[in-house]
Amino acid sequence: MTDAVDTKHPEYIARADLWQLMRDTSGGEADVKAAGEEYLPQPSGFKAQPDGGRVLYAAYQKRAQFPEIVHPTIHGMVGVIHRTEAQIEMPAAMEPLWEKATKDGLPLEALHRRITAELLTTGRYSLLADAASEGSDLPWLAGYSAEALINWSDDRSMFVLDESGLRREGFRWEQQQRYRVLELKDGRYTVQTYTGTQRAPGEAIGPTGRGGAALTGIPLVVIGARDLSLPPELPPLMGVARAAIALYQLSADYRWQLFMTGQETLVVINGDAPTAVGAGAVIAIKQGDQQGTPDVKYVGPAGTGIAAHRVAMQDERQNAAQSGARMFNSSENKTAESGDALRIRFAAETATLTSIAQSSAQGLEKALRHIAVMIGHNPEEVTVKPNLSFVDSSLTPQEAAQLVSVWQSGALSKQTVYENLQRGEIASAERSFEEEQALIEAEGAGLANPSLTGNDNADDE
């Protein structure tokens, strides 16, 4: 038994089928149907055909409709979580990451949205703080899907990343196996690449920080749907995916029954069969050798299961709604709700969104802190605060004025007032309290509104 680099962790193997289910259902009808009998078993009667049911199954599958609910649910939830941008603070030396956070030029906010989308899809995503082996370029973040992190040690001293994929050779594209092994050896971070399952030429590389300082930790962050723990979690929207597959299977049977009930068969009893049937054909029935009066009739399936299938499909749509696709629940009561009732109901329904928003922000923050360490800055200067207000929480001018009055009465600090103005979408989420103060002072706006200047004695003057 060989110890190959492509060996997969047992917990990876246990989750791989669920990840594939999420990828296929998120990919839509084409991906689901490409999987064939994995999601739509062939009816046993088809297999009795001379071709093993190939033609009948192709027609059966083609008539089936897969409900496109998983992909819109994921991206709808991403939109809700990122309704307002997260508040990200980092050293000035890291500011270029706002425009180019990844090697291929993805902006930081777009990367954050991708992290959230992956957590909603598979419940797992990884970020590696990476840098060029030579030169003084700012490090970047490399993202890895759940399927790419194939092996790891429980003490976080070893990770194996599958970087296989298409590689361009001139004008040709070829599939290439490639693996990256991240290890701690003698307390130092090392990287070794493999082509195929064989070690690539050269020794393991020991990346260093600015000034040549060795890195004492692997700068890889594994993000889950609830926290930053290593064990893979169940995909948050697995219930929606399974409901979508159940709807797809019910749709296949339902539409097949509709087709069959419309395909009546001409039956001739005690007579010779006509040479043609249908519009424009004249049918003359002669008595054959059989005894009795000729009887000619069309017969077809009764379709007694059609109504039951329709009810089952409606029930399955309810299951999808309860699993996260509420926006597709057509039977939901659409009457208006009061603001408080809406907020209470929404808070109960979005507990998963809250944990994903927090986990996504924590993972991004930790990855950015790795970059801060690599360039010689204090990692504590990096903070990422997610948006946890998933309903419209904007303040009216009257509410903002009341907030300032509360401060003037001494019940709140100026910092708390500013944070509430940020949550109320009046103050910018991208500027800190200190930056806003500096802008106010620079513009000389303090005399007109002492509550935002920090000048407590303005009224006395």
Helix (H/G/I), strand (E/B), else coil: 57: helix
**Distance spanning both ends of the chain, measured CA to CA:** 85
Single-letter residue type at 444: G
More confident residue, 337 or 5: 5
Cβ atoms of residues 175 and 164 within 8 Å: yes
Q: How confident is the model at residue 199 (pLDDT cuts 50, 70, 90)?
A: low
Is 401 contained in some domain? yes
Is 323 contained in some domain? no
pLDDT at 337 over 70: no
**At how many degrees (to 10) do helices 238-261 and 54-63 cross?**
110
Task: Find, among 332, 324, 320, 393, the residue nearest to 352 by Cα.
Answer: 324
Is 438 contained in some domain? yes
**At how many degrees (to 10) do helices 70-81 and 10-27 cross?**
100
Q: Which long-range contacts (CB under 8 A, 24 or more apart) does 343-350 make?
A: 343/391, 346/390, 346/391, 350/80, 350/390
How far is Cα 378 from Cα 369, in angstroms, rounded to an integer?
8
**How many C-beta atoms surround the C-beta of residue 278 within 10 A?**
7
Q: In the predicted model, what is the mean pLDDT of the chain? A: 81
Tell me what the mean pLDDT of segment 264-273 comes to: 71
Whole-number pLDDT of residue 308? 75
Single-letter residue type at 325: A
Q: Which domain holds residue 293?
A: 264-299
Residue with tokens 């997260």: 86
Q: What is the CA radius of gyration of the chain?
A: 31
| Least confident interval from 271-285, 292-306, 314-328 | 314-328
Q: How confident is the model at residue 329 (pLDDT cuts 50, 70, 90)?
A: very low
Is 242 contained in some domain? no
**How many C-beta atoms surround the C-beta of residue 237 within 10 A?**
28
Is 282 contained in some domain? yes
Q: Which of 299, 319, 343 is the last residue before a domain boundary?
A: 299
Q: Which of 299, 323, 342 is the last residue before a domain boundary?
A: 299
Is 64 contained in some domain? no
- Report the residue count for the chain: 461
Single-letter residue type at 56: L
| Least confident interval from 106-120, 175-189, 291-305 | 291-305
**How many C-beta atoms surround the C-beta of residue 121 within 10 A?**
25
Tell me what the mean pLDDT of segment 122-131 comes to: 95
Whole-number pLDDT of residue 25? 96
Looking at the structure of the chain, the number of domains it has is 2
| SS (HEC) of 329-345 | CCCCCCCCCCHHHHHHH
Single-letter residue type at 421: L
Whole-number pLDDT of residue 402? 73
Query: If residue 19 lies in a helix (H) or strand (E), which one and from where to where?
Result: helix 10-27
Q: For residue 25, give every residue at least 6 positions away whose Cβ sits within 8 Å of its Cβ, in sequence order, or none.
A: 31, 32, 70, 71, 240, 241, 244, 245
pLDDT at 330 over 80: no
Instruction: Write down the H helix ranges in 82-237.
Output: 108-121
Token pair listed for 398: 């009257």
Task: Find, among 259, 263, 301, the residue nearest to 59 by Cα.
Answer: 259
pLDDT at 164 over 60: yes
Tell me what the mean pLDDT of segment 267-290 comes to: 68
How far is Cα 148 from Cα 126, in angstroms, rounded to an integer?
9
Q: For residue 334, give every residue at least 6 positions away whose Cβ sits within 8 Å of its Cβ, in sequence order, or none.
A: none
Token pair listed for 233: 């979690």
**pTM score of the predicted model:** 0.75
Highest mean pLDDT (candidates 4-18, 270-284, 405-419, 426-440): 4-18
Torsion of CA 63, 67, 68, 73, to 10 degrees: -170
How far is Cα 169 from Cα 410, in angstroms, rounded to an integer?
69
Is 227 contained in some domain? no
Q: Which of 273, 299, 325 is the last residue before a domain boundary?
A: 299
Is 194 contained in some domain? no
Helices (H) and strands (E) in the chain, counts: 12, 14
